[in-house]
Chain A
Amino acid sequence: MKNLRKISQGIFLLIFLFLFIQTESKGRDDLGYPVKIFLDFDPLILTTTVLSAHHAAKTFYLSIIAAGITLIFGRVFCGWICPLGTLNNIVSSFKKWRTSAVNREWYRVKYYILIFLLASSIFSLQLVGIADPISLLIRSLSVSIYPMFNYSVRAVFDSIYSSDIRGIVNVSEPIYSALKKTLLSFQQPFYIQSAFIGILFFLILGLNLVEKRFWCKYLCPLGALLGLFSRFSILKRSVSEECASCGACANVCQGGANPDKKEEWRDTECLYCWNCDDACPQNAVSFGFSREKVAASMDLGRRRVITSMAAGVVAVPLLRVNPLSKSEFIHARLIRPPGSLEEKEFLKRCVKCGECMKVCITNGLQPTVIEAGFEGIWSPILIPKIGYCEYRCTLCGQVCPTGAIKKLTLEEKVKVKIGLAMIDKGRCLPYAHSRPCIVCEEVCPTPKKAIWFEKAVVKDRRGKEVFVQQPRVDLDLCIGCGICEAKCPVVDSPAIYVTSIGESRSKDNRLLMDRY
């Protein structure tokens, strides 16, 4: 059973990583792979989104399937499928575990986390992605681990390339180009906060050295939710009379399910790893379908349940009493990807999984710090200086699991305004420095260019007349894609820049009057 389980875990992890790597443009309008399918399968995301936004993603039935499987087989998802669980497993195995597992009673913590998340989502706060394992994993990989991996591999091959000791490049370059075609990203990704998010992730992995699958046992809210379902599962563990209470099973238990205490086996904690079955010298353990109640009852403690619920409720106003919740105070640079819902609605849905950031062609989508308030931490923001919104690309809407970013057709996409460009005349070359420059106009992608020129004859220092074309932005045509900002030769602080005003999704963040 153990090997079977390992094979299953390995396969799912590989599928997960494969789909993760495929979350990247190949130049066509579609990705060609169901890259977000693990998120689709996640019943926790479904539950909180339904609670907070009263909305279920189109593919919600997949997570119903996952819940259904748990109702029949218990938390097999955790033991056999979950990619983060598998990583936890792998890290746990770095350490030799001799003594029987520490018997902590912390397993309840994850239920409190779950209750907190559910309570806050009832009051429309969507915080689930911070702790949901699939979102957490995708975000950490996208924003931190994968960029890190790319950076190191590229650094190695680049230094080989530039030194070229004894024609070694002939060997290294084919390897490098094979890697580029398979494992590496098209270009080196860079993210703000990548160090922070990476450290959090390493911390979670590191906890496995404190205790096997620490995260899964004590913290994971999805595990808690599946644990609740697990109570109803009909696949149960039973122990026969042969049991000699030797404790061998407790040593290998992955979930802290109390397998050695016959009547107190916790069905909610069991990951169905079958380790106890394999380890039992007496062959006393068996798993089978039964309706009989064999497990220990779960007692979360009424007071603590109420506390975590209350915390979830209190978190809502706590995170929201900042001026950003007033429409006039919306952060000027909070440019959301095209197709994003109106800000409040957006926050109810975005789970901060980072799929959109991973897929963004130009690397312009970045995790917010506090531009969207604490509530919106790690939600996507377009930072045009890093990367603009590619005019004919619709990928972010295709990968967003919750519809926080709507899936747009190309025809719809090109009409969406995500902001407006403004010119800083004090920095712009033709305005401030009597030098020709038309870069912003050249790259402006709207069919009729949103940047137009006012022709002017200006004087340089010596009084010589210079003909320049001074760029102006047509506020009706500008869609705020930010390519002008990204390509403006005044690189440090571009002479043309985009702010969120005028974004189509908002009724308040307006500039032009003709919409009334």
Chain B
Amino acid sequence: MHRREFIKSAAIAAAGFAIPHSIDTLFSTAGAFEKVDLAVAHGASPSKITRAAIDAMGGMKKFISRGDIVVIKPNMAWDRTPEQAANTNPEVVAEVVKMCYEVGAKKVKVFDRTVNDPRRCYVQSGIADAAKAAGAEVSYVDERKFRDMDIKGEAIKSWPLYTDIFEADKVINIPVAKHHGLAKLTMSMKNWMGVMGGSRRQIHQRLDESLVDLSMFIKPTLTILDAVRILIANGPQGGNLADVKKLDTVIVGIDQVAIDSFGATLFGMKGSELGYVKIADKRGIGTMDISKLKIRKISV
């Protein structure tokens, strides 16, 4: 058992160092992977841990097929630099873009409906440059592309959402973990606010329910929680480097609830302390109880 475990993680680590695909394909087809709920990778290089964590989940091939149009939704809502941890780490985003193309994605789109000026958010977050360099199509949100969608949720009956999300073959959510004044913490489920059109500021009146409604409606193929740097106070935009904690961690999974619940532990909290996680668990979107999850931890 021990030995097998070791070989596997060694293979994963090696995959991180850009071993040709055929080898890690070999491993996965050989059934070397057991089903994992969450992969948590730790290490100094954001891109390497991202790759390692995705590989630990079975590799990008498991999620993205040849010819897919993929939407990647990072959090780049704020006019802040990567050190300030208000937006998703640009290296993490770029690495995911690359991996999508490696397995044959046709097109990878990256966008966010920002809170601060979009031009500044895209540039200052470092995401636009990094994602473009990796080949992604980075565009500003086009207000005309929001369509009223029947969400039929508890708090939100219908809302204009960004059509690109629904026209894509696959959606990858890449939030950053950080503090928030109302939600307490924001991670993957809150990140869907970035595809909402209209006057989304109203949803704060029933934030937790609204986030769950959205998360039921938008089903991402993969969720990658960026915890390379986390913001422990004065979120969601921070600005003071003293509020930033470097964790050098990336968490990958399919279950949004599980991810957010696990994410809470990074802040010394429990998933059950977050209203939206609790509601989501009750409504059966995912699993809040992380003791029930199979979590693989890797260091790169």
Chain A, Cβ-Cβ closest to B207: A436
| B247 smallest CB distance to A (angstroms) | 20
Partner of B123, one of A27, A445, A491: A27
Taken together as a complex, chains A and B put the C-alpha atoms of A26 and B119 apart, in Å, by 6
Kindly list chain A residues whose C-beta atoms are within 8 Å of the C-beta of B117.
25, 27, 361-362, 390, 393
Q: For residue A448, which residues in chain B have a CB less than 8 angstroms away from its CB?
A: 234, 240
- Contact check, A438 vs B238: say whether CB atoms are below 8 A apart: no
> Inside 8 A of B3's CB, which chain A residues have their CB?
none
Query: Chain A's nearest CB lies how many Å from the CB of B211?
Result: 13
B199 contact from A391, A436, A442, A489, Cβ within 8 A:
A489
Q: Is A441 an interface residue (CB 8 A)?
A: yes
Contact with B along A466-506 (1 / 0, CB 8 A): 00010000000000000000011101000000000000000
The reply to whether B79 and A392 form a contact with Cβ atoms under 8 Å apart is: yes
Whether B120 contacts A27 by the Cβ 8 Å rule is yes
Tell me what chain A mostly uses at the interface: helix, strand, loop, or mixed.
Answer: loop
Establish whether residues A28 and B123, one from each chain, have CB atoms under 8 Å apart when the complex forms: yes
Given contacts A391-B79, A392-B79, contact A438 B119 (CB under 8 A): no
Query: A435 within 8 Å of B by Cβ?
Result: yes
**CB-based nearest A residue for B86:** A445
> A438 CA to B179 CA in the complex, in Å?
13
- Determine the distance from Cα of A429 to Cα of B204 in the docked complex, in whole angstroms: 11
- CB proximity of A153 to chain B, nearest CB, Å: 14
A449 at the interface (CB under 8 A from B): yes
User: Is B237 at the interface (CB under 8 A from chain A)?
Assistant: yes
Q: Are B181 and A453 in contact (CB under 8 A)?
A: yes
Contacts A442-B236, A447-B238; A27 near B124 (Cβ below 8 A): yes
Count chain A residues whose beta carbon lies closer than 8 angstroms to a beta carbon of B.
34
Candidates B79, B119, B239; contact of A446 at CB < 8 Å: B239
Considering only CB atoms, which chain A residue lies closest to B144 in the complex?
Answer: A161
Residues from chain A with a CB closer than 8 A to the CB of B181 are: 438, 441-442, 449, 453, 469
Residues of B within 8 A of A469 (CB): 181-182
Contact B239–A447 (Cβ < 8 Å): yes
Chain B residues with CB under 8 Å of A487's CB are 115, 201
A443 contacts B by Cβ under 8 Å = yes
- Taken residue by residue from 152 to 165, chain A's Cβ proximity to chain B (1 for < 8 Å, 0 otherwise) reads as 00000010011000
A33 CB-CB contact with B under 8 Å: no
Whether A435 and B205, one on each chain, are in contact in the complex, defined by CB atoms closer than 8 angstroms, is yes
Q: A256 vs B177: C-alpha distance in the bound complex, in angstroms? A: 71
Q: Which of B113-128 contact A (CB under 8 A)?
A: 115-124, 128
* CB–CB B202/A392 < 8 A: no
A392 to B116, CA, bound (A): 10
Q: Does A61 contact B (CB under 8 A)?
A: no
Determine the chain A residues whose CB is within 8 A of the CB of B270 once the complex forms: none
State which residues 377-436 of A face B: CB under 8 Å: 390-393, 429, 435-436
Within 8 Å by CB of B240, from A362, A438, A447, lies: A447
By the criterion CB–CB under 8 Å, are A437 and B204 in contact? Answer: yes
Contact of A361 with B119 at beta-carbon distance under 8 Å, contacts A161-B144, A392-B79, A437-B205 already known: yes
Residue of A with least CB distance to B239 = A447
A438, B79: Cβ atoms closer than 8 Å: no
Chain B residues near A97 (CB, 8 Å)? none
Q: Does B296 contact A (CB under 8 A)?
A: no
Judge whether A442 and B182 touch: CB under 8 Å: yes
Mask for A26-56, Cβ within 8 A of B = 1, else 0? 1110000000000000000000000000000
Chain B residues 220-251 with CB under 8 Å of chain A are 234, 236-240, 243
Residues of A near B240 (CB, < 8 A) are 447-448
Residues in A neighbouring B206, C-beta threshold 8 A = 436
A489 to B238, CA, bound (A): 22
The closest CB in chain B to the CB of A390 belongs to B117
State whether A489 touches B201 (Cβ < 8 A). yes
B180 within 8 A of A: yes
Is A186's beta carbon under 8 Å from chain B? yes
B86 to chain A, nearest CB (A): 10
A393 and B120 in contact (CB under 8 A), knowing A442-B236, A447-B238, A487-B201? yes
| B236 partner residues in chain A, CB cutoff 8 A | 442
A439 CB–B CB distance under 8 Å: yes
Report which of A392, A439, A488 forms a contact with B124, defined as CB distance below 8 A: A392
State A392–B117 Cα separation when bound (angstroms): 10
Chain B neighbourhood of A362, CB < 8 A = 117
* B contact residues around A435 at 8 Å (CB): 205
Q: Which residues of B contact A439 (CB under 8 A)?
A: 201, 204
CB closest chain-B residue, reference A446: B239
Contacts of A361 in B (CB 8 A): 117, 119-120
The listed residue (A25, A443, A447, A491) touching B119 by CB distance below 8 A is A25
Which residues in A have their C-beta under 8 angstroms from that of B239?
445-447
The chain B residue sitting closest to A27, CB to CB, is B123
Task: Give the residues from 95 to 134 in chain B that come closer than 8 angstroms, CB to CB, to chain A.
Answer: 115-124, 128
Interface residues of A in 69-99 (CB under 8 A from B): none
Smallest CB separation, B157 vs chain A (Å): 18
Task: Output the least CB separation between A249 and chain B (Å).
Answer: 52
Select from chain B the residue with minimum beta-carbon distance to A387. B117
Within 8 A of A (CB), among B236-294: 236-240, 243
Shortest CB-to-CB span from B245 to chain A, Å, is 15
Q: What residues on A are CB-neighbors of B121 within 8 Å?
A: 27
Task: Enumerate A345-400 residues with CB–CB distance to B below 8 Å.
Answer: 361-362, 390-393
Q: How far is the CB of A443 from chain B (nearest CB, A)?
A: 6
Chain B residue at minimal CB-CB distance from A157:
B144
- Return the chain A residue nearest B238 by Cβ: A447
Verify B204–A445 contact, CB threshold 8 A.
no
Contact among B116, B202, B207 for A390, CB-based, below 8 A: B116
Supposing A442-B236, A445-B237, A447-B234 touch, asked if A392 and B120 sit within 8 A by C-beta, the answer is yes
How far apart are A364's CB and chain B's nearest CB, in angstroms?
11
Report B235 CB to chain A, min CB distance, Å. Answer: 8
Report A-chain residues with C-beta under 8 Å of the C-beta of B124.
Answer: 27, 392
Give 27 pairs: A residue, B residue, CB < 8 Å, sorted on A. A25-B117, A25-B119, A27-B117, A27-B119, A28-B123, A162-B144, A186-B119, A391-B79, A392-B120, A392-B124, A393-B79, A429-B205, A436-B182, A436-B205, A436-B207, A437-B204, A438-B181, A438-B182, A439-B204, A442-B180, A442-B204, A443-B115, A447-B238, A447-B240, A449-B181, A449-B234, A453-B181
What 6 A-B pairs are tightest by C-beta distance, nearest first?
A27-B123, A447-B239, A447-B240, A27-B119, A438-B182, A489-B201
In the complex, given contacts A447-B239, A449-B234, what are 15 additional A-B residue pairs having Cβ atoms less than 8 angstroms apart? A26-B123, A27-B119, A186-B119, A390-B116, A390-B120, A391-B116, A436-B204, A436-B205, A442-B182, A442-B236, A447-B238, A447-B240, A447-B243, A453-B181, A489-B202
